[in-house]
A and B are shown apart, each in its own frame.
Chain A
């Protein structure tokens, strides 16, 4: 099987991939005493709670309804009593509403099929699938947490030719998608078939980076049994998991700048985690209330992949993998390139938590900044063909109109520029500031 490894053509970096937990099986984590389920786990309007304190809930019961089209339902991940609906600090430390439930037993909704059997037959119609996905509160599990039913509803006038499956997992350290592909291979293929039916496409390509050879082999072997689904090995390069880079690498099409979407070039991109969640929702009637979370880091005792209920505090997961090491300098939700640094371990797992990375003190600190030496290394690694040095300078000097004409909104915040800067200038910090300001300006203008 001598395939040419595809990749995206411009930019990109290659950080050491550190997939420490790649050989660890997904294991369920013990149920915590209480769970805190945030009402805003997705992009869009926060969900509206439909339970009140002292209500008894079951696993999988709807506890908050989507408010609007771009929003998502939220289901209880445990059974027990609703303690309160209160504002709790989110990953940013700002207080956001959440439902706090005291756990009692583990009683599931009767409608959920808890068997392990593989159901290949897709009985639902195209419309029903999308409705089911919407009901089950499924969002993009790769980290963006965009409500999936929105993606599955192809807007009028657009056609979808390809379904692209993101099994790239280009972020160093994270292995949740990798394990899912190894352990739930058939389920993922059925899930892809479901999404293909929902979108009405005949071709699906699964992109997997070449550092997951076992997953590529296993997926390729099974792909022969499924019509229209192929597996494409990709060269290891960050940020290949980005929608734009993946579409370029797999089908050589360039998604235009925002507000351009993948559908503009005839494709829809889904993460393997999302695909598995769709499988479970459609075939097993199980809403999204648990997900695979990688707990990893060089200093941690057992890097592991947990199947965690939404709302479990990450401190529970850290304890289950050997406790927080004494020299911890930073706790990151997500991967090291795009993840968010947390200010406490008392943060619940949410739908978008793909991993928790613990970095020791010495690698977590930023090094001293020196002058820009105009080496253009940021320009050469930018996968969007932007000029990070210029954008950061413009943002720093508040020249936002100029930054807009330099297409700052095109930035996907992958962090390649900051990673590669020999002067260690936090380019992305400033670019992000410029990007948010420019986006705000654009919104105000169209209003």
Chain B
């Protein structure tokens, strides 16, 4: 008994030692020389592997950063400028300045604004639904509400509102990685400038129909009336195919367009409530909150 135990312990330790030696030499022999800064940079990145930077994963991006002579073309949308500052510090380079962006859903076709005309009864993905037909409402451009963008988001930043059936972006979580933009078969989601204090003004519609037809299918459709274009003092609004578009580079967030839009197609976010005097003056006062709240009473199934 004693002997068995002794031999067992001895042989096992012998095997262990020999294996350790072999492993050590193999590890030495096949060692790959790598810039240690790659690891350091990777450490600094959020390791979400979202692909928003244009590289397949965070490590590839780290390699690209290390190999680059300057960081101007490289930007990690998930980490933002702070992360890029850290990366720059590790590499001793200047961080490229980039305006923070955010994903914006350009459709306000809630159940109330855009009544259903048919019931969709197939696989619940936008991509498949969009190959079958134009959608379960009269608007062939609008959101299908089946949530391909929600599935694509790695940061849990986009969700379908249960009352409106429209996706909503969580501005604190969105990293502007572009995944939802790519996933939307109707190209409704756009990356826009995040704006100072998260203030944004944008046309929440991509309907290219003539005004009359667009209005029939959706109450808040852009009808291409050109009023906003005439109103804009900064020449930021262009109207093409009966659809207005606000250039976020030129827009100074003056909100004049919002007040003239006859269909409330232009939305503003995170602005302080208007003064009462101004409210009385204006006949139309659209705001994102108003659109959403008005639908809460609605039964989701119509």
Q: Does A associate with B in a complex? A: yes
Size category, A interface? 10 to 19
Kindly state whether residue B23 has any CB partner on chain A within 8 Å.
no
> Is the CB–CB distance between B132 and A92 below 8 Å?
yes
Residues of B contacting A429 with CB < 8 Å?
122-123, 128
A93-B140 contact given A366-B121, A366-B122, A430-B123, CB 8 Å threshold: yes
Chain A's closest residue to B135 (CB) is A93
Kindly state whether residue A433 has any CB partner on chain B within 8 Å.
yes
A343-B118 contact given A92-B134, A429-B128, CB 8 Å threshold: yes
* B212 CB to nearest chain A CB (Å): 13
Kindly state whether residue B280 has any CB partner on chain A within 8 Å.
no
**Distance of A364 Cα from B122 Cα, bound (Å):** 11
> Is the CB–CB distance between A433 and B133 below 8 Å?
no
Kindly supply a per-residue 1/0 record for chain B positions 111-124, scoring 1 wherever the CB is within 8 Å of any chain A CB and 0 otherwise.
Answer: 00000011001110
Kindly state whether residue B293 has any CB partner on chain A within 8 Å.
no
Kindly supply a per-residue 1/0 record for chain B positions 94-120, scoring 1 wherever the CB is within 8 Å of any chain A CB and 0 otherwise.
Answer: 000000000000000000000001100
- Near B by CB (< 8 A), chain A positions 331-385 give 341, 343-344, 364-366
Kindly state whether residue A202 has any CB partner on chain B within 8 Å.
no
**Distance of A91 Cα from B118 Cα, bound (Å):** 13
**Distance of A366 Cα from B122 Cα, bound (Å):** 8
Residues of B contacting A341 with CB < 8 Å?
132-133
* B287 CB to nearest chain A CB (Å): 31
Residues of B contacting A433 with CB < 8 Å?
123, 125, 127-128, 131
- Near A by CB (< 8 A), chain B positions 131-185 give 131-136, 140
**Distance of A426 Cα from B132 Cα, bound (Å):** 14
Chain A's closest residue to B208 (CB) is A95
- Near B by CB (< 8 A), chain A positions 428-442 give 429-430, 432-433, 436
Residues of A contacting B122 with CB < 8 Å?
366, 426, 429
> Is the CB–CB distance between A344 and B117 below 8 Å?
yes
- Near B by CB (< 8 A), chain A positions 243-284 give none
**Distance of A433 Cα from B122 Cα, bound (Å):** 12
> Is the CB–CB distance between B123 and A93 below 8 Å?
no
Residues of A contacting B128 with CB < 8 Å?
429-430, 432-433
- Near B by CB (< 8 A), chain A positions 413-436 give 426, 429-430, 432-433, 436
* B246 CB to nearest chain A CB (Å): 25
Residues of A contacting B140 with CB < 8 Å?
89, 93-95
**Distance of A433 Cα from B117 Cα, bound (Å):** 24
**Distance of A95 Cα from B210 Cα, bound (Å):** 12
**Distance of A436 Cα from B121 Cα, bound (Å):** 20
> Is the CB–CB distance between A343 and B131 below 8 Å?
no
Residues of B contacting A91 with CB < 8 Å?
133
**Distance of A432 Cα from B122 Cα, bound (Å):** 12
* Contacting residue for B134 out of A94, A366, A426, A432, CB 8 A: A94
Kindly supply a per-residue 1/0 record for chain A positions 78-95, scoring 1 wherever the CB is within 8 Å of any chain B CB and 0 otherwise.
Answer: 000000000001011111
* A57 CB to nearest chain B CB (Å): 26
**Distance of A92 Cα from B134 Cα, bound (Å):** 6
**Distance of A342 Cα from B269 Cα, bound (Å):** 38
Chain A's closest residue to B132 (CB) is A92
> Is the CB–CB distance between A89 and B134 below 8 Å?
yes
> Is the CB–CB distance between A93 and B131 below 8 Å?
no
> Is the CB–CB distance between B131 and A432 below 8 Å?
yes
Residues of B contacting A432 with CB < 8 Å?
128, 131
* A361 CB to nearest chain B CB (Å): 10
Residues of A contacting B123 with CB < 8 Å?
426, 429-430, 433
Residues of A contacting B132 with CB < 8 Å?
92, 341
* Contacting residue for B117 out of A95, A343, A365, CB 8 A: A343
* A350 CB to nearest chain B CB (Å): 16
Residues of A contacting B134 with CB < 8 Å?
89, 92-94, 343
Chain A's closest residue to B136 (CB) is A343
Residues of B contacting A95 with CB < 8 Å?
140, 209
- Near B by CB (< 8 A), chain A positions 88-116 give 89, 91-95
> Is the CB–CB distance between B121 and A93 below 8 Å?
no
**Distance of A93 Cα from B128 Cα, bound (Å):** 15
* B115 CB to nearest chain A CB (Å): 13
Chain A's closest residue to B209 (CB) is A95
* A4 CB to nearest chain B CB (Å): 40
Chain B's closest residue to A344 (CB) is B117
* A352 CB to nearest chain B CB (Å): 16
**Distance of A364 Cα from B125 Cα, bound (Å):** 20
* A366 CB to nearest chain B CB (Å): 5
Residues of B contacting A436 with CB < 8 Å?
131
**Distance of A405 Cα from B125 Cα, bound (Å):** 24
* A420 CB to nearest chain B CB (Å): 17
Residues of B contacting A364 with CB < 8 Å?
121
A343-B121 contact given A94-B140, A430-B128, A433-B128, CB 8 Å threshold: no
| Beyond A93-B140, A344-B118, A366-B121, 20 extra complex contacts between A and B, CB < 8 Å | A91-B133, A92-B132, A92-B133, A92-B134, A93-B133, A93-B135, A94-B133, A94-B134, A341-B132, A341-B133, A343-B118, A343-B134, A344-B117, A365-B121, A429-B128, A430-B123, A432-B131, A433-B123, A433-B125, A433-B127
Q: Which residues of B contact A (CB under 8 A)?
A: 117-118, 121-123, 125, 127-128, 131-136, 140, 209
Top 5 A-B pairs, shortest CB-CB distance: A93-B134, A429-B123, A343-B118, A92-B133, A93-B133
- What are 20 A-B pairs at a CB distance below 8 A? A92-B132, A92-B133, A93-B133, A93-B134, A93-B135, A94-B140, A95-B140, A341-B132, A341-B133, A343-B117, A343-B118, A343-B133, A343-B136, A344-B117, A364-B121, A366-B122, A429-B128, A433-B125, A433-B131, A436-B131
